[in-house]
Homo-oligomer: A and B are copies of this chain.
Amino acid sequence: MKEYEIFKEISHRQNKKITKQRSIIVKKIFSLHKHFSADELFKMLKKEYSGISRATVYRTLKVLVDMGFVEEREFGRGKKYYEHIIGHDTHSHFVCIRCGKIIEFKSEIIEQEIYKIAGEYGFEVDKISTIVYGVCKECREKGG
């Protein structure tokens, strides 16, 4: 598992310890390919290993965000969602305000435009978050 090796490598460089819990959490996160909240992750782990506290999940997520493995987003539901970055391109999101579905999309044009404007403002871009709220195709067809 290449991603996990990278995680170990960076952990060493940053003096971070690879504990049993952290290792389980990280592997779980790399196995997920959709967005999850801290608590959802905690519940998944609890079912499978039942030896990881909620606090550790929260703390580990923060560490992973700092290390650049995981991205944190807010979709307007009052809590934070995460997704691992490795192997995932920068992308934008459609969020359905009826069913909550999240659809990812990618646009070079948007990215280029943002970098261009940022340049004009002297702003150094770190992370782009484009979220489009609306109604997905399925919900529209169901009527309303």
Copies of this polypeptide in the complex: 2
Name the B residues within 8 Å of A72 (CB-CB): 76
The answer to whether A2 has its CB under 8 Å from any CB of chain B is no
Name the B residues within 8 Å of A125 (CB-CB): 132-134
* Per-position 1/0 for A106-141, Cβ under 8 A of B: 010110011001100111111111111111110010
Complex Cα distance A106/B78, Å? Answer: 26
Contact pick for A113, options B96, B107, B127, CB 8 Å: B107
Can you list the 3 inter-chain pairs with the closest CB atoms, starting with the nearest?
A122-B137, A74-B74, A126-B134
**Can you name 19 extra interface pairs (CB under 8 A) apart from A73-B76, A122-B137, A126-B135?**
A74-B78, A78-B80, A94-B118, A94-B121, A103-B123, A105-B121, A109-B109, A110-B110, A113-B113, A118-B134, A121-B136, A121-B137, A123-B134, A123-B136, A123-B137, A124-B135, A125-B133, A127-B132, A130-B131
